Amino acid sequence: MIRLKWKRVVSATLSVALVMSVLAGCGAEKNNAQASETSSQSTQTAGTSEKISEEPITISMFLQDSADQAISLDLPIIKEITKRTNISFDFVTGPSTEAQFREKFNVIIASGSIPDVVISPYRDDMLKVAEQGIFEPLEEHIDKIAPNFKKILTDDPNYNKDLKSSDGKDYFLPFIGAVKTFKVWMVREDWLKKLNLKTPVTLDDWYNMLKAFKEKDPNGNGKPDEIPYTTRNTKAGVLSFMEAYGISGFEANEQFFIEDSKVKYAYTDPRCKDALTYISKLYKEGLIDPEYATNDTKVWLSRITNEVAGSLQDTTARAYSLGDQIKIANPKSDASLLVVAPPKGPTGIQMTTSQMQPVRGLTAISVNSKYKEQIVKLFDYFYSEEGSLLMNFGIEGETYNMVEGKPKYSDAIAKDTQGRSILSMLNVFGHREWAYKQDIGYENALLSDKYVQARNEMEKYIKPTIPALSFTESERDIINNKYTEIQTYKDEMIDRFIMGKEPIEKFDDFAKKIKDMGIEEVLKVEQAAYDRYNK
Amino acid sequence: MQITPATTVAKVKSRKKSNKNSSKLKLLKSNYQLLLMFSPVFIYFVCFRYIPLIGAFIISLKKYQPALGIIRSKWVGFEYFHQFTSSVFFWRLIRNTLAINFFQLLLGFTAPIILALLLHEIGHSKFKRLVQSVTYLPNFISSVVVVGIVVVFLSPTTGVVNSIISKFGMEKINFLTEPSYFWLIYTFMVIWQTTGYSAIIYLASLTGISPELYEASKIDGAGRWSQLRYITLPGISSTIVILLLMRLGNLLEVGYETIILLYNPSIYSTADVISTYVYRRGILNGDYSFASAVGFFQSVIGLLLVITANKIAKKYTDTSLW
Amino acid sequence: MVRIIKETKGRILFQCINYTILTICMIIAIYPVLYVLAASLSSYAFLAQGRVGIIPMGFNLDAYKRVLAYPMIGRSYFNTVFYTISGTFISLLLSTLGAYPLSRKYFPGKDFLTKVVVIAMLFSAGMIPTFLVVRGLGLYNTVWAILLPTAVSSFNLIILKNFFEQIPYEMEESAALDGCNHFQTLFIIMLPLAVPGLVTIGLFYAVYQWNSFFPAMLYLRDRNLVPIQIILRDIVIQNQTTDLAVDLVKGSDQVSESIRYATIMVATIPIMLVYPFVQKYFISGIMIGSVKG
């Protein structure tokens, strides 16, 4: 009797699974058919380069996968790479969420069998491993067989600094970004017009503008529901006002900043007190989103599309796309976001340290790999003009077309019927952020001309931020031991200052406590690493 | 005659009338069979639990670096234990972890029992099966979504709770930035997610109580409350005790995944627990040895608690783990 | 006479309150499920503004079409079903073999072995040591890496032991007198009587296996072996992380909301439906009851 019923359960579940598989199979087949159709129609690429490897070889590669599309040998761009170079791949993937990717990375390293190529955007993880002799030092290889990359390094010697480990060697081939501007300040342009306000320049202007947003009902619905400034970056989004005072420290790697060649900590600096006074005032008067500490992208987006948010700081790509998103939700709106220069502080400082580090994403080669030379040549190919075109734009005829001598993304990429972004679509076709130099054409394609211009204009306000440093083992020990504690205390107290739960007068006590917790030791270590960086 | 449960029941019933002495001797002699039976399980525990555990213990005594492997990593002795216990936040983390677990025990442990008892009173009906099927569902909705719902509910600008509060003329509360609310918010969230699912054990246990007992008690004039006190509760008491004992072993542990989604620095004073602190340190620095050391610390204390509680259970009840 | 009337009135009142409470519980419990379901069927414009409650707005099936068209979804679904069924079977078998001896009072190893089981529950070895063992046993990138390392849960084993202990001793005695050895007693007599316990932990194991993500992430390299959680989890977590660098640099994804919810539905509906099927095993153990009296 029991067996019979069990059978029923099994068959029921199996039939559900079968139905799902059939439904899925139909969809997948269609996708595959599309991809293979177009690739057989693609034009012959100018394949004058001799194959990198005389014989077909397969290299194993560990990388972070994209949630848009799982990487596989069937994807067009990957196929093209193999076609041109005779190198095929055996992918070992890690999840796209940071915590889990880093866990898997460590597990792979611990297992002892390192894939030929390891790619990770997490610099500290890579450095720790490199210095233990897991990765191959690359200077000699670059010198001998990587002319394209060598040229990039000679043109921009700063990259060398970013690539060097604390033992002075270079283990990595980098992904190099094309654009510096990361986050920009933006304001509802139509609200400014409606309330007859000028573009805000100083902190006082900002204060007045935010107050006007709050009190004068710019979204016109008769309810005082406006949230003049919002963020989805929790505390970091609100502390951006700190930069008008000449200090920065809100992004994860920017707790420290450089001044007069010295590494300093933003939160014990007296200017921080002034900044907090201003910010807490904004919070108290309801000019900053009261839920800044808990907002995630979803809530933040609803603030914007419900037209209660008046200003924010986010990527240029968002500045461009949010206007449209608001209009989709509310067709009658004339929303558009104006990119604005960073607020000017009381001493005239107008700056942002928010920028994309040019060197992001590191590729390393296992010291035990049998194919070291071929791998170096492969990535050097990506730095070449032809390879760069492949990595940035994909396959001619399929993902881009040459228009007036410049590559332009095809509609399959730029105008996806499901509304996916350009990057997502490129990922679907097999693009991944391996070691290559990003072309500004990619960044420009993400925006309209108006925003390309705004983005370029903002570059002049970018002040150098503390570079990504390489630490020795003993330096790391000190950071490990002291820093989590300091940061826990700091994060908690700063939020309390902003929210008015802790009076600003207590700031000096707070700064002293941090000193007692050992910030000086940490600074010493950071300074040592920084000096080494500059040598 | 074929041996089946039915025939065996019949036999036992008939045998009850006679006074035969059990053949305990016979059973004792064949204990090796039981050992044999347990052996694959023993192998499992050794292979997949205890051997890795030895590795983890060694890791907590070394400065483990994946690139060096366990053997070549440096010995540091109790360095990481010491770092943890001498942290400024050590006592706060312990307090928060214990407080959350206390609320979980008080409310979260009892809720499934109450639910199971309420369902038990319904008797067999479609309604009962419906309630059972529905209440067990929230367990499957990922924490990410549940936290999202909770945040929206409690929002001072758009949340339901606050609009009710303001209708009563009181000031709106930003719940997730006030430390004093966190323990309750978290506890209720967990109750919401897990009660229906956890009640299943008790429901299964309740089926083991003979309906004849209830019938007999009715004849004796027992009311609902008496039945509850003298039949139902004793019937599931062993299950309750066992689950409680096991629960105590985790008294110093609260999972970080959900709290990470729900907390923010302004409520660290009540929301930061041992596992979230370790998570931040671990993720920032890949500090395995630290995480391992703290893990052992939590487990050892949990073990002591279980041993003590087990002794108490043995003394005062019929049930105990060992 | 009066007493009986009082009792009936009290009983009716009690049942009313009971039904009300349980209905409220149901409503509270179903809310998140309806929320996810509605969101998965709603259009972007309404979701972005946070205007979707438990009723879909701008009803469309696009999200589901997207999710079901995701490559490898059919295969990974099959894998998940396979892992769940075989994993649960292995787990039940091992748990039974483990719980039964521990439930026999005369078993000399009872105390020691119970401690072995419980202590394993209290201590966790962590990822890397477990990984090294799995690899050392040659299980890396095989289905056994999914089925074996988590095959036995101490918690479930103890629960099953408790269920076995509640079966009256006379049953075992009688079976022994009939000439059964321990194995026969266990499988022929005891198992059928312990069905509610077996179903309970079977359910727990099945749910755990269905939702399992970490072992697959760590141990599987061959994409063909991967269960559905691997394929779909990234979609759900995306945009929830505080790692803004990932989102901000990689560009916005406008279609994410309803996809996320559709993903949750697709990944969880089958396991959500299992319980109603197994509820029938939670009827009163007629046999046990009649023996105990």
Domain annotation for chain B: domains and CATH numbers:
72-316 (1.10.3720.10)
The pLDDT confidence band at residue A518, using thresholds 50, 70 and 90, is very high
Residues 38-77 of C with CB under 8 A from B: 50
pLDDT > 90? residue A192: yes
Nearest Cα residue to B190 out of B108, B248, B109 = B108
* The token pair that represents A322 in the structure block: 């949010």
Preferred mutation among C248, C274, C283 to probe A, highest tally of A CBs within 10 A: C248
Q: What percent of chain A has pLDDT over 90?
A: 52
Q: Which strand ranges, in their side-by-side order, compose the sheet holding A309-315?
A: A227-229, A309-315, A183-188, A337-340
Angle at CA of residue B129, ends B124 and B133, nearest 5° = 160
pLDDT per residue rounded down to tens, chain C (293 residues): 555 666 678 788 888 999 999 999 999 999 999 999 999 998 877 877 777 888 898 888 888 988 888 778 889 999 999 999 999 999 999 999 999 999 998 898 899 999 999 999 999 888 889 999 999 999 999 999 999 999 999 999 999 999 999 898 888 888 888 888 899 999 998 998 899 999 999 999 999 999 998 899 999 988 889 999 888 777 776 655 444 444 544 444 544 678 888 988 998 888 888 888 888 777 654 444 444 43
Whether B286 and chain C come into contact, CB under 8 Å, resolves to no
Whether A331 and chain B come into contact, CB under 8 Å, resolves to no
B116-143 CB burial, b ≥16 within 10 A, e <16: bbbbbbbeeeeebbebbbbbbbbbbbbb
Of C85, C132, C231, the CB nearest to A10: C85
Nearest Cα residue to A66 out of A480, A418, A428, A435 = A428
Longest dimension (CA), chain A: 85
Whether C36 and chain B come into contact, CB under 8 Å, resolves to yes
Q: How far apart are CA B197 and CA C207, in angstroms?
A: 11
Least confident piece of the model among A94-98, A333-337, B147-151: A94-98
Which whole-number Å values give the CA distances from A292 to A235, A299, B156, in the listed order? 7, 10, 12
Q: How far apart are CA A420 and CA B123, in angstroms?
A: 53
Residues 460-489 of A with CB under 8 A from B: 476-477, 479-481, 483-485, 487-489
Number of other CB atoms surrounding residue C31 within 10 Å: 17
- 3-state SS record for B56-105: HHHHHCEECCCCCHHHHCEECCCHHHHHHHCCCCHHHHHHHHHHHHHHHH
Q: How far apart are CA A313 and CA A231, in angstroms?
A: 7
More confidently predicted of C95 and A476:
C95
In sequence order, the 6+-apart residues with CB closer than 8 A to the CB of C236 are: B142, B144, C260, C263, C264
Residues 206-235 of B with CB under 8 A from A: none
Asked whether A398 and A39 are in contact (CB, 8 A), the reply is yes
Q: How far apart are CA A136 and CA A23, in angstroms?
A: 47
Residue C254 confidence (pLDDT): 46
Whether C265 and chain B come into contact, CB under 8 Å, resolves to no
pLDDT > 80? residue A37: no
Which whole-number Å values give the CA distances from B77 to A481, A484, A523, B228, in the listed order? 15, 21, 27, 54
DSSP 8-state symbol, A93: E
What angle, rounded to 10 degrees, do the helices at B51-60 and B288-316 form? 120
Q: How far apart are CA B42 and CA C114, in angstroms?
A: 11
More confidently predicted of A242 and B28:
A242
Q: How far apart are CA A193 and CA A190, in angstroms?
A: 5
pLDDT > 80? residue A403: yes
The pLDDT confidence band at residue A187, using thresholds 50, 70 and 90, is very high
Q: Strand (E) positions, C160-258? A: none
- Number of helices (H) and strands (E) in chain B: give both, helices first: 19, 2
C79-110 CB burial, b ≥16 within 10 A, e <16: bbbbbbbebbebbbebbbbbbbbbbbeebebb
A345-354 CB burial, b ≥16 within 10 A, e <16: beeebbbbbb
Looking at beta carbons, which residues of chain C come within 8 Å of A107? Answer: 127-128, 131, 218
Q: Which residue has the tokens 């555990």?
A: B53
Of B89, B174, B288, the CB nearest to A290: B174
pLDDT > 60? residue A162: yes
Residue type, A391: M
Q: Strand (E) positions, B70-227? A: 74-75
- Interchain pair B264, A293: CB under 8 A: yes
Residue type, A440: I
Residue type, B183: W
The pLDDT confidence band at residue A301, using thresholds 50, 70 and 90, is confident
Nearest Cα residue to B70 out of B288, B280, B281 = B288
Residues of chain B with pLDDT under 50: 17-22
pLDDT digits (tens, 9 = 90+) for B135-166: 989 998 888 889 989 998 999 988 899 999 99
Burial category of C236 from C-beta neighbours within 10 Å (exposed 0-12, middle 13-18, buried 19 and up)? buried
Residue A499 confidence (pLDDT): 95
Angle at CA of residue A305, ends A302 and A306, nearest 5° = 80
DSSP secondary structure letters along A337-398 = EEEEPPPB-TTS---B--B--SEEEEEEEBTT-TTHHHHHHHHHHHHSHHHHHHHHH-SBTT
Asked whether A76 and A35 are in contact (CB, 8 A), the reply is yes
Nearest Cα residue to A277 out of A487, A502, A489, A486 = A502
Q: What is the nearest CA distance from C130 to chain B, expressed in angstroms?
A: 5
Number of other CB atoms surrounding residue C174 within 10 Å: 25
Phi-psi region of C142 (alpha: psi -120 to 50; beta: other; left: phi over 0): beta
Residue C4 confidence (pLDDT): 61
DSSP secondary structure letters along A65-80 = PBTTB---TTSHHHHH
Please state the rounded mean pLDDT for residues A337-358: 90
- Interchain pair A133, B148: CB under 8 A: no
Q: Strand (E) positions, A392-440? A: 400-403, 406-409
More confidently predicted of A113 and B23:
A113
Preferred mutation among A19, A73, A111 to probe C, highest tally of C CBs within 10 A: A111
Q: How far apart are CA B135 and CA B145, in angstroms?
A: 17
Q: How far apart are CA B285 and CA A456, in angstroms?
A: 35
- Interchain pair B321, C118: CB under 8 A: yes
Q: How far apart are CA B320 and CA B247, in angstroms?
A: 13
Torsions phi, psi of A112, nearest 5? 90, -20
Instruction: To the nearest 10°, report the CA torsion of B244, B249, B251, B257.
Output: -100
- Interchain pair A28, C74: CB under 8 A: yes
DSSP 8-state symbol, A408: E
Helix (H) or strand (E) holding C88: helix C73-103
What angle, rounded to 10 degrees, do the helices at A98-111 and C127-136 form? 40
